[in-house]
Structure 1
Amino acid sequence: MTQPVSLISRVSTARLDPADRVAAWEEYNRRALVGLKCSPYAEQGLLATQTNVRFGALRMADIAGNEHVIERTSAACRALPKDSVFASLVLSGEAVFYHGRGCLTLGAGELVVYDTRRSYLFGFAAPMRQLLVDIPRELFAEVPSPAKFDAD
């Protein structure tokens, strides 16, 4: 049976005063997705949009923006816990993903899967767009590893 898709929320910083954009973006993400810190790097400040939808137990965010960095610090992981795995597909632009074990450079069409219980930094040096799938840990744990799939 197919799960219905339902719109949860949508936000844009475009009509906000540039001085208020980062705080509004951080608050929106805290409520809709995950607690994080945002640092814009464009002269006009943060220009970003996000649309969140639900597919059964999964949530998906379509995120677009200009040059910025988001960071989920260890302090945020403790203060604003989230027990999910994120799968982020870069649709346009290039990204740098830093985590405790190293740094990845991602381009359009590349995917990174990461644990929201651990700190990370996602940076974009040019306009970007990504699709992020929020997978509750209990669902992620149910997915068999490739070695467990039956080849028949």
Structure 2
Amino acid sequence: MLTTASVPDQDKVAYWNNAVSRTLVPMTVAPQGDGPFDGRIATDRLGYLQVSTMEADAERLSRTPALIARSSEALVAVGVQVSGTATFIQDGRRAEVSEGDLVVYDTARPYSFDYPQRFATHVFQLPRRSLGLADSDIRQVTGSAIGSGDGCGAILVPFLATLASSADGYSPAVARQLASHVVDLFATLITELSHPGSTDSDTARNNLLLRVRDHIDRNLGDPDLSPESIARTHRISVRYLHRLFEGEGTTVSRLIQQRRLEECGRELARRGRTVPTVSAVARRWGFANPAHFSRAFRASYGVSPREWRDLRTAQDDNGRSPAPTSAPSSTVIGRPGTGLTPSGR
């Protein structure tokens, strides 16, 4: 809790400016009244979600390009007006915010809040990358007031108000789970508002999922390809990356291994003037450990990599598909006429 209560009157404004900038993001604070200024701000954390409650006299908060340049990370913030009113401006849009309304704003772009009288507000800040949404979607939502009767707003406003009042009472494990739920709700809210009337409310998620799959296909040969490296590249959290794949019938790590095995199987099956060694093929497609590669290949194809290559060679020599030494456990992806397919495990 930071408060001006015990600060000398002549120092209150400077103290408050510093307190708001340290707690939220660097901003300029200009009081609107004539008397001694009064303000207090309390902050808690739920995992990577910061929850702040600010109560103060009439003031104007401004976030300028010069102040933005001093910030190290782009954040998305959601403000819930507890009492009083505000005029919020960002991206050329002006919103009149009433008690119970919600606003979304991007700290990487200029904005301002005008509070004409004493007010209270909850502010939730999270890394923009954790949402996994396109900047264009976020831009469509900023500068608008969202009422508690508007779609996701009806769920979010009371939930966020309760969360802010009890943020210091959760264990670290519960706090992380709550932060995850808040991110999901924020992402859903932004998607709902940025794609009104869309029959596919998962447009942003699906586009990101396609980009991730394409990235995996283009980087299979990198032995360091992992959920962590993929999340860093796409500026999202590992947790959000795993959530993207919850409805895909596989995990990120299993998809990477499955795609590597498919490419190894195709290369070992190709007939050419030179026959590649099993270890060379494994390394080319990102398997750093030959023993692990052999175990994974047998588990998926039902035969060892060497047996697979020899069986394909026999097929090409005889013009017919050889009988497999053991049947794969399922048929997910395969090549016609091979008699063998990877199991996809």
Q: TM-score, normalised by structure 1?
A: 0.85
The reply on whether 1:44 has 2:35 as its aligned counterpart is yes
Greater strand content? 1
- Distance in 2, matches of 1:85 and 1:116, equals 6
- Distance in 1, matches of 2:51 and 2:5, equals 22
Structure 1: gaps (5+ residues): 1-9
Equivalence for 1:128: 119
Aligned residue-pair number: 140
Equivalence for 1:80: 71
* Maintained 8 Å contact 1:46/1:68: no
C-alpha displacement of 1:135: 1.3
Alignment root-mean-square deviation, CA: 1.7
Equivalence for 1:5: none
Structure 2: gaps (5+ residues): 134-186, 193-200, 206-345
* Maintained 8 Å contact 1:34/1:82: no
**For residues 82 and 46 of structure 1, do their structure 2 counterparts lie closer, same or farther at Cα, with a shift above 3 Å needed?**
farther
Q: Which amino acid aligns with 1:129?
A: A
- Distance in 1, matches of 2:13 and 2:132, equals 34
Q: Secondary structure at the match of 2:15?
A: helix
Which structure is richer in relative contact order (CA contacts within 8 A, separation 6 or more)? Answer: 1
- Distance in 1, matches of 2:127 and 2:61, equals 21
**Deviation digits for residues 35-56 of structure 1, max 9, x if unmatched?**
0000001222321110000111
- Distance in 2, matches of 1:45 and 1:99, equals 29
Greater helix content? 2
Specify which of 6, 15, 25 is matched with residue 15 of structure 1.
6
Equivalence for 2:89: 98
Percent pairwise identity: 24
Specify which of 50, 56, 60 is matched with residue 65 of structure 1.
56
- Distance in 1, matches of 2:65 and 2:130, equals 24
* Maintained 8 Å contact 2:58/2:118: yes
